A and B are shown apart, each in its own frame.
Chain A
Amino acid sequence: MNIPRRAVFHLATGATLAGILPVDARAQSRAETLRYVTGANINTLDPCVPGTTRESFGLSMNVYDRLFAFGRKQVNGNWVFDSSVIRGELAQSYEMSADKLTITIHLRPDATWQDGSPVTAEDIKWSLDRAVSAKSLAPPQFSTGSLTSPDQFRIVDAKTLTVSLTKPDRLALANLCVPYAIMINSKLAKQHATADDPWALEWTKTNTAASGAYIVESYKPGESVILRRNEAWKGGANGKLPFFRRIILQTVPEAATRANLIERGDADLSIDLAASDIPTMEKSAKAKVISVPQTNGFTHISMNTQVAPFDNPKVRQAIGAALPYENMFQASLFGRGRRLYDASWTGSPPNIDFPQPMPLKTDPARAKQLLAEAGLPNGFKTSFAFSTGAAATAEPVAALVKEALGKVGIDVDIQKKPDAEFNTMEAEKKLPFFIDAGTAWLPATYYYFYLYFTRDQRWNFASWKNTRIEELAALARFETDPAKYEAECKEMIEIFADQQPLLMVWQPNHDAVMAKSVDGYTYQFYRQADFRDLVRA
């Protein structure tokens, strides 16, 4: 291809740079432009509407500000989000009362919306009210931080608000950092509110009323989004503007094509390449790979604890002993991730980190013995399901599960299901045995147990009912004494390791592949690229 494609580089505003600017200026604008390619779709600009894709969460983090943001730290040379540090984004500072029931928030005095109008406490109150009352995905999330009613948010003056809590919830502040906690220009949004839609959810799907680091310049759903830097942005960690002036987000469905684009230097960043392409990219002259285990996520093999034979802990333990973890890990991820099996502790865990490696070991003889003890010496028949979307990593696992369980007498029928069908059956608890993954935005040990192992709800993958776990999770949530919190968390992990409602097998790596010149990539809890941190060296 001989046509100088860069020469026909245009600004989306319509001005042709090629004709106006000298060559080095054009090169400069390419250097300050980041082309990001993804297999997923951005289906809404408002992350709160039902059906939002993960890609849309990522976009909203760059376009909107929240009151607070998590810090970041370096682990093994890579940047990772740090939920133990909470800094102001639209807020300049906050004070927590001694009883941990009142948070006083001071807004940045000079913060403005992208239309130039100042950010007021009224806007923030409206945004928080919306987050707890609109028919969106936000209220259930906010309730995990004990934020449930507009009465909790009070305006003190034009730049100050208070948030009051009934109990000292350890995740109240953290919930103000998640993608649903976007702060919206209420004057602008209200113009588009209707009687049926008082929170303008319909309008914000395709429009923005934000104050964030990037302004949406063009939005073609399912194709591309073009972002322009907000020169008036004040929410940065040190008050600095992001490096890239323009961001082009483009949907490219085929993973191999995305790999080719990066490999040839035509695209700058992709975070969803096939695991099998990563080793090649690591050797590439133009690209580099940043691999970080997804510390707040886990891949799990779940068993429905409410139906026979998986209602018997011995059967679950037998499966736990039969699986060839290392082979599964290698075949599925080529070893790219953190193992959550093969731990050497017994009884109580060494610390309260979660997920942490469990004492799962491949031992077919023990599996057979456990099956015999469960009264199933000749095994049984079951099916093992995974979704089409996860086929690249789940299909090899399924084949190995079938093979390994066949050796201890369990006959497994593999079922690959279209994503929607898989999700529906999973939510309706109709899958006896399956592989899936989970990620918690707020990586607190109690939160994992509350979210994944209590109550009759869809994220309780194994439909596990354990009264002690429920008690402990409720206690730990409002526990202010660190020693007691640790004891409660350790007991939960202990029960989990013994009962094995599901087998946490590994944390896959988050592999961000980028041009060699791109630096500063941070692994975020919502597993998307934060363009605000990136620079071109």
Chain B
Amino acid sequence: MSATVAGTRSTTQHILFVLRGNPVTAIAATLVTLLVVIAILAPWLAPYDPIASDVPSALQPPSAAHWAGTDQLGRDIFSRILLAARLDLFIAVSAVGLSFVVGAVVGGFCGYRGGRLDRWVGRIVDVLMAFPLFVLAMALVAALGNRMENIIIATAVINLPFYTRFARAEVNVRRNSGWVEAARACGESHMMVVLRFLLPNVLPAMAVQISLNLGWAILNAAGLSFIGLGVQAPTPEWGIMVAEGARFITTGKWWLVAFPGLALMLTVLGFNLLGDGLRDILDPRMRT
């Protein structure tokens, strides 16, 4: 009991220590927290209905009434950015979550068992890795139809090889270690050994990858939107807002691109820096 408490305290202290010594990570953590709060509270925070059009006041520059200006249909860009946080975060989290769960479990078992299963999965992963990934995502969305669930699936599929390989390699080096032998000697089933002992050990290392991937997943969805394979209008989504705004950049209407672009950038930045920060927190060499 006391050992657990001590452990918790030292972890908290360690996190605080890292945050103090690394202001960038602190900023990143704040950014991500802010983002999550915005995503949750968006409907109450947004000053306007993000979907309601007001064509007579279209394409207005930022003003006191519309902080980030209005778009082609006179919709309030600021409100749309807030609401979009929800959708973008949802897409990213579901896609990365999906590929993480599938990748970790499949990769974990392959690393643990080896043999024929491992070889076959390895081959499938090889095929996936050989694909130009963005083009694969494009083709998947085009084939399945550009709905949100398919964008999530496509993003998950192209992330899958990383997680599978990562989990496989990490489990593979640990499978013969003493404590795994011990667990097995205690009569734990293979399934239990992988799920309860091996994967949790791999988790911290994977957390870094997850954080980095969240940012990447958002960029991926934005790219799909840019080429017309994104979520359906009039749902606000950052990528689609940037893509729509790109048409107006040469006519000097910068706010259509700038604000959603900024939101996109800050979010991806938050996730990336947080990933780096996590790496520092988890890296045992930093701890000592």
Contacts of B51 in A (CB 8 A): 399, 403
B252 at the interface (CB under 8 A from A): yes
Tell me if B247 counts as interface (CB < 8 A to partner A): yes
A205 to chain B, nearest CB (A): 27
| Residue in B232, B247, B251 whose beta carbon sits within 8 Å of that of A392 in the complex | B247
- Name the residue of chain A whose CB is nearest to the CB of B141: A418
A400 to B72, CA, bound (A): 11
Query: Are A330 and B58 in contact, CB atoms less than 8 angstroms apart?
Result: yes
Contact A396 B251 (CB under 8 A): no
Closest to B51 in A: A403
For residue A122, give the distance in angstroms from its CB to the closest CB of chain B: 49
Please judge, given known A-B contacts A327-B55, A331-B53, whether A414 and B233 are in contact too, CB under 8 Å: yes
Q: How far is the CB of A537 from chain B (nearest CB, A)?
A: 27
Q: Interface of chain B, helix or strand or loop or mixed?
A: loop
Known: A327-B55, A418-B142. A400 touches B249 (CB 8 A): no
Q: Which residues of B contact A392 (CB under 8 A)?
A: 247
Q: Which stretch from A111-119, A219-227, A255-263 is at the chain B interface?
A: A255-263
Interface residues on A, range: 20 to 34
Known contacts A276-B251, A277-B251, A331-B55: does B73 contact A396 (CB below 8 Å)? yes
Q: Which residue of B lies closest to A389 (CB)?
A: B228
| Residues 79-94 of chain A, each 1 if its beta carbon lies under 8 Å from chain B, else 0 | 0000000000000000
Check if B146 sits within 8 Å of A416, measured CB to CB.
yes
When each residue 26-57 of chain B gets 1 if its CB lies under 8 Å from chain A and 0 otherwise, what string results? 00000000000000000000000001110100
Give A263 to B233 CA distance when docked, in angstroms. Answer: 31
Contact of B73 among A259, A276, A399, A415 (CB under 8 A): A399
A398 interface residue, CB < 8 Å from B?
yes
A417 vs B244: C-alpha distance when bound (angstroms): 16
Does any Cβ of A come within 8 Å of B90's Cβ? Answer: no
Q: Is B250 an interface residue (CB 8 A)?
A: yes
- Assess whether B197 is interfacial by the CB under 8 Å rule: no
Shortest distance between the CB of B255 and any CB in chain A (Å): 14
- Of residues 236 through 271 on chain A, the ones whose CB sits less than 8 Å from some CB of chain B are 255-256, 259-260, 263
Of the candidates A277, A388, A413, A416, which one forms a contact with B250 in the assembled complex, judged by CB atoms under 8 Å apart?
Answer: A277
Which B residue sits closest to A388, measured CB to CB?
A: B228
A536: Cβ under 8 A from any B Cβ: no
Chain A residues whose CB sits within 8 angstroms of the CB of B73 once the complex forms? 331, 396, 399-400
Do residues A416 and B232 form an inter-chain contact, with CB atoms below 8 A?
Answer: yes
Closest A residue, CB atoms, query B240: A395
Q: Kindly provide the distance from the CB of B107 to the nearest chain A CB, expressed in whole angstroms.
A: 33
* In the assembled complex, A402 has its CB within 8 A of some CB on chain B: yes
Partner of A255 from the list B229, B232, B233, B247 (CB cut-off 8 Å) is B247
Max chain A CB contacts within 10 Å: which of B55, B244, B252? B55
Determine if B228 and A280 form an interchain contact, defined as CB atoms under 8 angstroms apart: no
Tell me, in angstroms, the Cα distance from A332 to B244 when the chains sit together: 12
B123-146: CB near A (< 8 Å → 1, else 0) gives 000000000000000000010001
B246 within 8 A of A: yes
Q: A399-B234, A400-B53, A402-B234 are in contact. Are A276 and B248 (CB under 8 A)?
A: yes
Chain A residues whose CB sits within 8 angstroms of the CB of B252 once the complex forms: 280
Give the residues from 372 to 419 in chain A that come closer than 8 angstroms, CB to CB, to chain B.
388-389, 391-392, 395-396, 398-400, 402-403, 413-418
The winner among A255, A330, A399, A415 for most chain B CB atoms within 10 A is: A399
A403 touching B250, Cβ below 8 Å: no
A327 touches B53 (CB 8 A): yes
Give the B interface residue count (CB, 8 A). 23
Contact B53 A256 (CB under 8 A): no
**Complex interface bits, B243-269 against A, C-beta within 8 A gives 1, otherwise 0:** 010111111100000000000000000
- A193: Cβ under 8 A from any B Cβ: no
1/0 contact string of B142-172 vs chain A (CB within 8 Å): 1000100000000000000000000000000
Pairwise interchain contact B250-A259, C-beta atoms closer than 8 A: yes
Nearest residue, chain B, Cβ from A255? B247
Kindly provide the distance from the CB of A407 to the nearest chain B CB, expressed in whole angstroms.
Answer: 11
Chain B residues near A398: list those with CB within 8 A: 233-234
B246: which A residues are within 8 A, CB to CB? 256
Interchain CA distance A403-B248 in the complex, whole Å: 24
A403–B249 touching, CB < 8 Å: no
Chain A residues lying within 8 Å of B229, measured Cβ to Cβ, are 388, 418
Inside 8 A of A279's CB, which chain B residues have their CB? 251
Q: How far is the CB of A410 from chain B (nearest CB, A)?
A: 15
Chain A residues lying within 8 Å of B146, measured Cβ to Cβ, are 416-418
Contact, CB under 8 Å: A260 / B228: no
- Give bound CA distance, A255 to B244, whole Å: 13
Asked if A17 is an interface residue, CB under 8 A from chain B, the answer is no
Instruction: Out of B52, B232, B244, name the residue touching A403 (CB < 8 Å).
Output: B52
Give, as a whole number of angstroms, the nearest-CB distance from A63 to chain B.
32
Chain B residues 55-86 with CB under 8 Å of chain A are 55, 58, 72-74
The CA of A193 and the CA of B224, in the complex, are separated in Å by: 45
**A394 to B: closest C-beta gap in Å:** 9
- By a CB distance below 8 angstroms, the chain A residues around B55 are 324, 327, 330-331, 400
Tell me, rounded to whole Å, the shortest Cβ–Cβ distance linking B234 to chain A. Answer: 4
In the complex, the chain A residue whose C-beta lies closest to that of B58 is A331
Would you call A274 an interface residue if the criterion is a C-beta within 8 Å of the partner chain's C-beta atoms? yes
Bound state CA distance, A275 and B191, in angstroms? Answer: 61
The CA-CA distance from A395 to B122 in the complex, in Å, is: 43
With A399-B233, A418-B229 already in contact, 16 other A-B pairs whose C-beta atoms are closer than 8 Å:
A256-B250, A276-B251, A330-B58, A331-B72, A331-B74, A389-B228, A396-B72, A399-B234, A402-B234, A403-B234, A413-B232, A415-B232, A416-B228, A416-B232, A418-B228, A421-B142
18 contacts between A and B (CB under 8 A): A277-B250, A279-B251, A280-B251, A327-B53, A330-B55, A331-B73, A391-B228, A392-B247, A395-B233, A396-B72, A396-B73, A399-B233, A399-B234, A403-B51, A403-B52, A414-B234, A416-B146, A421-B142
- On A, residues with C-beta under 8 Å from B are 255-256, 259-260, 263, 274, 276-277, 279-280, 324, 327, 330-331, 388-389, 391-392, 395-396, 398-400, 402-403, 413-418, 421
Closest 8 CB pairs of A and B: A388-B228, A399-B234, A327-B55, A280-B251, A256-B250, A414-B232, A331-B55, A274-B247
